[in-house]
Copies of this chain bind each other. A is one copy, B any other.
């Protein structure tokens, strides 16, 4: 199968990001996500439909075909392996590698991808905690819940931190709020929109903004972890 252009890859990736289960996505949502005009989207959807990568019902939005979905998941795989590699092997900061991975994912050969996957230790999760699909598109399934939904006293382990802006991510990281960290909910002031947590044993107070991007796995037991 001929190599898809970088632009096509971006459209498929966007469709997958906006509708991982293959739901219909309106033209305008795609345009906004990709920062292009609506006519550009219509135009590209027509081509992708001809190539059987999407189903495009005029004025009825678009959704991925099985083939399109497969390609999109491969892009996700490439991206996450690259991010993991940039952090674990090259030692770059995990809050800063996204842009580089975004570019490289379009230009890396299967051979090089395989090699960096190997030297990165065949990771199952990227530095943000996102699962990395295997070459056939399957990935680890976990049931995670937003950190903010924990009730008082509940313990959990941070598993995933979805893209947040740089400064917030930096603050979280310096407080130890990273994938793998154990947390306990201490107080919730919904009126003041403030959460008081224990992160790896340390007190940490934060506003709720962006906090729904922090996903945790509930930990049993009520012991005072240390």
Contacts and interface: CB of A to CB of B under 8 A. Distances in A.
Interface of A: 86, 89-92, 96, 99-100, 103-104, 106-109, 111-112, 115-116, 118-119
A107 to B, nearest CB: 5
Contact of A100 (B90, B91, B111): B111
A112 B85 CA distance: 11
Contact of A104 (B91, B99, B104): B104
Contact of A112 (B100, B106, B119): B100
A91 B115 contact: yes
B107 A92 contact: no
A96 B47 CA distance: 34
A117 to B, nearest CB: 10
For A90, A91, A92, which residue has the most chain B Cβ atoms within 10 angstroms?
A90
A152 to B, nearest CB: 43
